[in-house]
Amino acid sequence: MAVKINFNEAAAQTHTALIRNERLMNKSLLRLSTGLRIINAADDSAGLFIADQLGTVAKAYEQGNRNIQTGISALQIAEAAAGNIYEKLQEIYVRAQNAANDINDPVARQALQQEIRNFVDAIQKIGTDTEYNGIKLLDGSFKDKYIHYGARMTQTVYLSIEDVRAQNLGGHMLVTEGSQTSASGSFTSLTNYVSASKVTASLAGRTINATIQSESNYIYDAGFIAEQVNENLSDIGFVAKAVNVSIADKQYAAIADISTTATLNFYVGDKTFSVTADTTITLDDLIDRINEAAATNGADLTASANAGRLVLTSSKGYTIGLEVTLTSGTGTINFDQLIAGTTSVSSVTQGSAVKVGELYIANDKEFTQSGINTTQFGNYVVGSSSNSEFKNLYGLDVTQNQGAEIAMLATQVALRKVDSIRAQIGATMNNLQSIFDAQKVAYDNTKEAESVIRNTDYAKEMAEFTTYQIRMQATIAMLGQANTLPQLVLQLLR
């Protein structure tokens, strides 16, 4: 081999190995001291990029869950306040129900009206003042809001809470007062109330029947309309009720002013039944016969007496139709003693009368209507021949029976609206909580994935560090040996 003294190749190469081992050991030392496998981009450029992206997503999950928590806090405030409004509406409903009882005198009804006003004022204050960090929640301004929960764009939950202040709670309503008439002839001769074919009406663009079939006749019937509304239109927010109570205008004396027998044919809903009696039958006996025949035939009609007057009640608000036929002779049939709002019919052998009940229809949204006409159903107390009318809580007046009934229906619609809002808020809170739980798991898994790439595996790194230490010690020892190689030249010079 060549022997040189100006350049020690072995020592130089050993020194290079020493520098490399020192660099690796120092990097290992830094990984052990910081806990990071990737300290700078040079350590693992691809790994750094992936770990940084995972870290960003993890931080976004964390912030998203904080957004969810603040959203749930706001919704809890809104739901609790809406619950208070619901309780106040319940109190209003009960007091309107109380006021609908005609046993109350005007003073009692005025007291109930004042209580209702106090509850309305409380509802207005709750709806106006409920807020979260200055953001109003129940006054109608909290609409089209979003809670951003996710790590990416458009990962949001939509929020919108309707206005539940007193001026916006109530019902869009149509109320008719009912109608009645009497005339000579058979029941089918009452052509304004009896049709040979089915007649329809329209509510919010949906068709319903305005007449109910009874044998071969079609009779205009508020109770039947109310049934159809509740059965077929509840999915779009409708609720309806019909009331038909007939209290004869005069005290009962006799069916007719002629002494003979009479056949009374009743038409109630889709049922018909007959009662045969002397024209001079007593009121109590007549009531018993009507009730017995109605029960036997399944008709929704109950007869009773009030201060000597005949009272006929259909609990479902069905039209009450009556056809009276005298067995012999002609005379005056006293419909004013049998059906409310009618007049007697003179010099006849047969006469008929009809009383259509009051109709109440409500929705939480405005609606159009056609086919519910004043000729058959009476004048409009609320609404018109084309549109509903809004009755809010400030417009409730329970100082009379019909006003109390209207108040009950308007409050019923308001209760349903507030309950629907509470259900919507509750469902949103459950949705947000589910997202929170799922994102917490996603956050944990994302941080773990980042940790696998970014952080130090101490068991592996300690083993490598030990290897580097040993290699450093060996390299230093060998460097010492390499440095002695040029001394071999002295042996040649001796």
Whole-number pLDDT of residue 43 = 75
Question: Which tens digits make up the pLDDT trace of 333-367?
Answer: 999 999 999 999 999 999 999 999 999 999 999 99
Which stretch of 93-107, 366-380, 447-461 has the lowest confidence by average pLDDT?
Answer: 447-461
The stretch 189-202 carries a mean pLDDT of: 96
Whole-number pLDDT of residue 38 = 73
Listed by start position, the domains of the chain span 178-378
Return the higher-pLDDT residue of 15 and 169.
169
Taking residue 415's Cβ as centre, other Cβ atoms within 10 Å add up to 17
Question: Which tens digits make up the pLDDT trace of 129-169?
Answer: 999 999 999 999 999 999 999 889 999 999 999 999 999 99
What's the pTM? 0.79
Question: Which tens digits make up the pLDDT trace of 384-421?
Answer: 999 999 999 999 999 998 899 999 999 999 999 999 99
Whole-number pLDDT of residue 186 = 96
Whole-number pLDDT of residue 136 = 95
Q: Is the pLDDT of residue 494 over 70?
A: no
Whole-number pLDDT of residue 310 = 97
Rounded to whole angstroms, what are the CA distances from 137 to 124, 142, 158, 364, 417?
13, 5, 14, 20, 16
Whole-number pLDDT of residue 426 = 95
Whole-number pLDDT of residue 300 = 97
Strands 194-195 and 271-278: unpaired
Whole-number pLDDT of residue 3 = 60
Which stretch of 6-20, 78-92, 206-220, 251-265 has the lowest confidence by average pLDDT?
Answer: 6-20
Whole-number pLDDT of residue 2 = 58
Q: Is the pLDDT of residue 66 over 60?
A: yes
Whole-number pLDDT of residue 143 = 92
Q: Is the pLDDT of residue 254 over 70?
A: yes
Whole-number pLDDT of residue 398 = 94
Whole-number pLDDT of residue 429 = 95
Question: Which tens digits make up the pLDDT trace of 308-326?
Answer: 999 999 999 999 999 999 9
Q: Is the pLDDT of residue 234 over 70?
A: yes
The stretch 5-9 carries a mean pLDDT of: 70
Q: Is the pLDDT of residue 1 over 60?
A: no
Angle at 130 between CA 126 and CA 131, to 5 degrees: 170
CA neighbor of 363 nearest in space, from 402, 405, 398, 391: 391
CA neighbor of 67 nearest in space, from 160, 151, 128, 131: 151
Q: Is the pLDDT of residue 278 over 60?
A: yes
Return the higher-pLDDT residue of 262 and 42.
262
Which stretch of 13-27, 92-106, 110-124, 331-345 has the lowest confidence by average pLDDT?
Answer: 13-27
With bands split at pLDDT 50, 70 and 90, how would you rate the model's confidence at 13? confident
Q: Is the pLDDT of residue 487 over 80?
A: no
Element (H, E) at 22: helix 9-34
Whole-number pLDDT of residue 406 = 94
Q: Is the pLDDT of residue 31 over 90?
A: no
The residues, ordered by sequence, that sit 6+ positions from 365 with a Cβ below 8 Å of its Cβ are: 172, 237
Question: Which tens digits make up the pLDDT trace of 428-465?
Answer: 999 999 999 999 999 999 988 888 887 777 888 788 87
Per cent of the chain over pLDDT 70 is 97
Which stretch of 58-62, 91-95, 283-287 has the lowest confidence by average pLDDT?
Answer: 58-62
Distance between CA atoms of residues 85 and 415, nearest Å: 9
The stretch 58-73 carries a mean pLDDT of: 94
Q: With the CA atoms of 80, 83, 84 and 88 taken in that order, what torsion angle do they form, in degrees rounded to the nearest 10?
A: 170
Q: Which of 31-35, 47-51, 475-479, 482-486 ranks highest by mean pLDDT?
A: 47-51
Whole-number pLDDT of residue 438 = 94
Whole-number pLDDT of residue 24 = 77
Cβ–Cβ under 8 Å, residues 279 and 262: yes
Angle at 220 between CA 219 and CA 225, to 5 degrees: 120
- Residue ranges of alpha helices (H) inside 35-178 are 45-99, 106-129
